[in-house]
Structure 1
């Protein structure tokens, strides 16, 4: 049974040749730089500093693997988009991310994190379209919901839904501060994990 109470850091991978053995289903977390991936994962597993957070875009530079008791890996991907790194470094990150997603048989789902407060960014649209075009399972999460009132949340979510041409049931509202949407996200990810066993 998948639980999110016992989670441990496993490895930071900078090269696909160093990826861990594919023993369990993997859930990857993707989003623009500084969108709140680290905070979301920390809230998901009820830990404050399992994943290091930073106000500086581009903090995550590798594929960071975390093992969930019960049989699952959470994979924190480098943020896409703006980061205070040179073009060569950003290109290397992009190659690492895309190669991992396309080649990793154990990858069960990519959680695409989008800031609820803003209109849809082109990079987010491109990521979701790319995942769909390549037949990859994904789950959209609108985060930082606590920054908006209830009416504003509804209005902004509806605008993002329309831009992505999706129904409300196809995404989640989330707040790392209040825990809004956390139980729903855990349930969804546990379903993607299935039995917790993976056969390549």
Structure 2
């Protein structure tokens, strides 16, 4: 999809703040600093629109990006960041769980994992959570430009084994080169009907 219009519509912490209307939503989840903002920027073809940070744990709200008046990307706070207090992590966890389990507009979730390493226990737990609630999920391996292409098949096989999924549920991605962007948009289009 060619994106000309994008707007950070709202940053929400509770359902009453979610956007009204029936536009489909795609959630972006993953560990802190796995590349959710970089993915958003690549998909909407804007450098630095979604703020990237070297400081993990920066996103603390559900950020709703309206794309072409047709759908929303929802940037969800990263998990697995130890420097945030346990109480704060629990608060985020409840906010995330409430969104993922109650939001009728949610058409699917892109689960970002670092393609250079084995998925963490948190990654696997998040995937199992999404499967339990029957939320369509794309596993997106990020930072693939930092791994030689000769190892990509090995990475895909490792992800298939870790998550017990078929290759169709996995996409390799690089925010640097744009590799995988079209495949992500294809998946989003299939889940939302927005082309």
Q: Is the 8 A contact 2:71 2:194 kept in 1?
A: no
Distance across 1 between alignment mates of 2:156 and 2:138 = 15
Structure 1: unaligned runs, 5 residues or longer? none
Instruction: Could you list the structure 1 runs, at least 4 aligned residues long, displaced by more than 4 angstroms after superposition.
Output: none
**What SS does the corresponding residue of 1:108 show, helix, strand or coil?**
strand
Compute the TM-score of the two structures, normalised by the length of structure 1. 0.92
Q: Does 1:67 align with 2:66?
A: yes
Q: Does 1:6 align with 2:5?
A: yes
Compute the TM-score of the two structures, normalised by the length of structure 2. 0.95
Shift of 1:195: 5.0
Distance across 2 between alignment mates of 1:120 and 1:129 = 13
For residues 18-49 of structure 1, the C-alpha deviation after alignment (integer angstroms, 9 at most, x for no partner) is 11113200001000111111111111111111
In the alignment of these two chains, the number of paired residues is 195
1:114-153 equivalent positions in 2, closer than 5 A: 114-153=113-152
Return closer, same or farther for 1:155/1:195 CA change in 2, 3 Å cut-off. closer
Shift of 1:191: 2.0
Corresponding position of 1:107:
106
Q: Is the 8 A contact 2:143 2:173 kept in 1?
A: yes
Q: Is the 8 A contact 1:146 1:177 kept in 2?
A: yes
Structure 2: unaligned runs, 5 residues or longer? none
Corresponding position of 1:34:
33
Q: Is the 8 A contact 1:33 1:57 kept in 2?
A: yes
